[in-house]
Amino acid sequence: MPECDRREFFAGAALFAAAATAAILNQKEAEGGDPSFMNNVPDPVASGEELPTFKFELEKSEGKVIGKSYGKEATVKQLPISKGIAGVSMRLEPGAMRELHWHATAAEWAMVLEGNVRTTVISPDGTAETNEFVPGDVWFFPRGHGHMLECLGNESCHFILIFDNGYFSEFGTFSISDWIGHASPALLAKNFGVPASTFNTFPKEEVYFARGEVPPTTPNAPLQGVKAPALTHKYEFLSKPPHRTFPGGREWRVDSSTFPISTTVTGVVLELEPEGLRELHWHPTADEWQYVIEGDISVSMFGSHSRYRVETLHKGDVGYIPQGYGHSIENVGTKTCRILIGFNTGVYQTIDLSQWIAGNPVDVLATNFSKPAQLFERFPKSDVFIAK
């Protein structure tokens, strides 16, 4: 075929291929509806006549137990509405380590509640970081970055892990012992340049919680020497003053503006005095995952079309509010309550009901509710955020 003919032939073939692709796409469009609305299809779990439960008693669940260490998880399996965020309550006994692993489908955000924890994490650029955490400290590991967690000292440690994917589960967790236990010794020998017999006595199944000596007080240097990353994975959270304070309570908040590596999770700790209320509000860009650290709360959720549901959560319970759903949190106990909240966004946004009303003129409000305009002069002129 002469050069010019060949060029025409290929140009023609390319056009034909493009036309064929367009035809297939058009057919798919016809079957599936307008593709611009694909992401707006109602979630069947949350679009029934009644709102489904949004509460799960996490600490009452059994989870995975090895020795005195455990991991209890809340995923879509335990709490079907929680598609955007999963969480785990983990306790490690002294000398225990959550082995080297990564999460293929989720980033990991965590806050320590009790004890001391040391972590190592590897980044794709070859840098690695070792950090130590006390209660109130936070870590963030981006999706797919390999890490381990170990208990420091002679007391057990307890922390809450938040994952930016409700379908996260152990099936999405890749452990180093599981991998090495299933690769052939010959392959491993070639990979690491050591004799194949090295791997004869390695674990054949996933270790999950490894158990050994209490780690050294001062961490040893990595095999490669210290190569620190540009962005740290650690944030000292609750040792800082609250983000906002009110007579009815206070809020600590950490998102990517103060903890730059945490691009997909925002963390909040809400403390409410008895009768304190985190007012009616919604989050335009994120789902909300709640864990009650201390106290008793009443959580209301509004889901359009007359659907309204209230759940009472106690210490160790988990709640979940899908993106855009109206909600409130009220302390119904006799003590100050503390709630850990995770959002699957690195940039926090909220619209509070008092703020929305304050953003409208009184005549609009009067018409909306068929009430006299002057009634609305008594309403707040800015957001209430936490009421009492």
Least gap, CB of 86 to Mn ion (angstroms): 11
Least gap, CB of 109 to Mn ion (angstroms): 10
**What residues between 264 and 323 interact with Mn ion by CB under 5 A?**
288
**Number of chain positions touching Mn ion (CB under 5 A):** 2
Distance CA 341, CA 186 (A): 47
Look up tokens 């209660």; give the residue: 135
Please tell me whether residue 164 binds Mn ion under the rule CB under 5 A: no
Closest CA to 304 of 43, 54, 47: 47
Distance CA 187, CA 303 (A): 54
Least gap, CB of 102 to Mn ion (angstroms): 7
Q: Name 109's Cβ contacts closer than 8 Å, sequence gap at least 6.
A: 138, 139, 140, 161, 162, 163, 164, 262, 265, 267, 342
Minimum CB distance to Mn ion smaller for 55 or for 376 = 55
Minimum CB distance to Mn ion smaller for 108 or for 317 = 108
Minimum CB distance to Mn ion smaller for 150 or for 288 = 288
Instruction: Give the pairing type, strands 96-103 and 173-175.
Output: antiparallel
**What residues between 212 and 231 interact with Mn ion by CB under 5 A?**
none
Minimum CB distance to Mn ion smaller for 78 or for 147 = 147
Distance CA 192, CA 189 (A): 5
Minimum CB distance to Mn ion smaller for 288 or for 296 = 288
Distance CA 63, CA 363 (A): 55
Please tell me whether residue 352 binds Mn ion under the rule CB under 5 A: no
Least gap, CB of 317 to Mn ion (angstroms): 16
**What residues between 43 and 82 interact with Mn ion by CB under 5 A?**
none
Please tell me whether residue 108 binds Mn ion under the rule CB under 5 A: yes
Which DSSP symbol is given to 46?
G
Least gap, CB of 11 to Mn ion (angstroms): 51
Minimum CB distance to Mn ion smaller for 141 or for 199 = 141
Provide the Cα torsion 288, 266, 252, 110; round to 10°. Answer: 90
Least gap, CB of 367 to Mn ion (angstroms): 29
Applying CB under 5 A, the residues found at the interface with Mn ion are 108, 288
